[in-house]
Structure 1
């Protein structure tokens, strides 16, 4: 309706903050307008009847939604005129990388004993990263250029000279095209005012602690270029040349007990979640486990009842990583043998998983029901005695002792 109104040739009236449109008269309408249903709904100007349609303030606030293409073109033109386009763009670090660093990593690392997970602030976290890696000098030069405040002040001055409230329309009859032009000017002033406020806040932050800002930005730029980082068993690495990553956490060594009480020592592996989705945990290395179908790299960990999140978010990555790690360490039941494979060697048997006569070799209590042939995976090379130094000293925990 609003778009059609802007493109029409009708006359309009602005009164008390509302747009009034002409009332089309016919005999029935003519009878109704002599007893208007609500005060100020109908007004008479120059002998013509106008009916209240929409709030002018609401129209201004929702202009980006009503006219998205026109708004983006107007915004680009306004900011480009004052050289503010580049200054309003975010620092060239991908949103997914920022999410990993600032919202996922703090959950998994603890810089000091007793500090709760997730309590690290952005500055503390970046300082920890800086203490673990070497940042090339050129990154500091790039950060200095991006954080330059002299050019920012010049842009801000230009915006301040152009800001201010738009001239109010008078309570008079105007054309729809005249109204559209007034709205464009009013929206342009709002864009400039918002840009000015944003740049003023950016300038305040940069001048408050310029050296800290420069150091932290250099870290972001370095990690965006390198595409990988690992601290205290948590890390990420870029997937090819994309803007996506594998976010991972090391399990460390752990041991599982079989039905007969024998112990199997499992090596460390990296449980990962791709930021591109699907957000299911996988093991990055070539690895074997009762909850993995084969002995390859990149296998998804099979989980019963796990519904992966549909969109990328810090909480989605954290949840998937924890589900995967918990499954490997605590999910296998020595009594129920609830994996694709049993730790101990069993006579081959055929079971049905609910797919008619489709045979499957191996245990039947799977973490995920799948149709097809399951490869035979042997764990004898992982078996160790109870006197193994890592087991006897408690260096490595038997993690499934309490699994029902």
Structure 2
């Protein structure tokens, strides 16, 4: 057997490219060159039609399956197989399935569930020791994440969400990746949408030792120093700072749809459609400039828009002391917003009209200030804050605050 395709001989080739190359040119070697895929299946009854070379999993929406090792292998292989028709034979890969009996899966015994979680963590760490462990893998084992998820599991609070481990299904109701959570909190709570848009996963999830693990960004991961009594202390932290998370993600989706819709209405660059016109009037040049500004904020300023909308809705006084930031001022709005978001699109107020007002105000602001707007403009938090203060003192800003407070 020819093992000249061993990946260590081609360090310049990425992991995904190596999988692509093996599947296309050496499919019979894939079993030997790949570490395989490992799954956590919560309930053994989900395993249907198990044979030596295939398996069927059921009830995935009710009991999501976690890929604890081999997620990149899975995604890269599927991409290659879907895009290629030149694979000469059926490649095979080692598949490990870890599961629990029906009785263990459905138990409400806290000690049993804790033991299961510890076992899953040990298996995950053991299987991933031979490859670089990412910031999300390490962060998921932190006391902060465990406390957030414990609140979700307890169901004692009206608003909860769960942070998923890497490889676990994300996209279900109120289930988010750790990186997405950190970035959206950086945008709406810290009010740094530029940083949230551009910061890397490793930077935003940077942690410090020794045990217990703590995240470096204290403004995002609040209350890490007092997790000994999470039932009392951290519930207050959650109410004050994290109650709007679900609504923020719902709003993010709404903003995405709004921007996509608005971009379809924005005319193309005139140079693309009227090449015979060599000179535009001053009025035409002004309109072209405004169109380009609109395109820029709709394409690159979505986190910018989210931060401002959340700021308006929360009525969160960034200049007040911590003691003034009561749960009633922030979490009640979060609870209201969460209920609205559960119905689908947030409809308690006319979000699209407010977004349109902000878009128009941004065009007015940049034209008056004669600012150069490109994608880099929205990576600078100072630019956001200067526009936010201008907008809050404008007639449109006053109207927006009034509408958001009516709820």
Which has the larger share of strand?
Answer: 1
Which has the larger share of helix?
Answer: 2
Normalising by structure 1, report the TM-score.
Answer: 0.22
Normalising by structure 2, report the TM-score.
Answer: 0.22
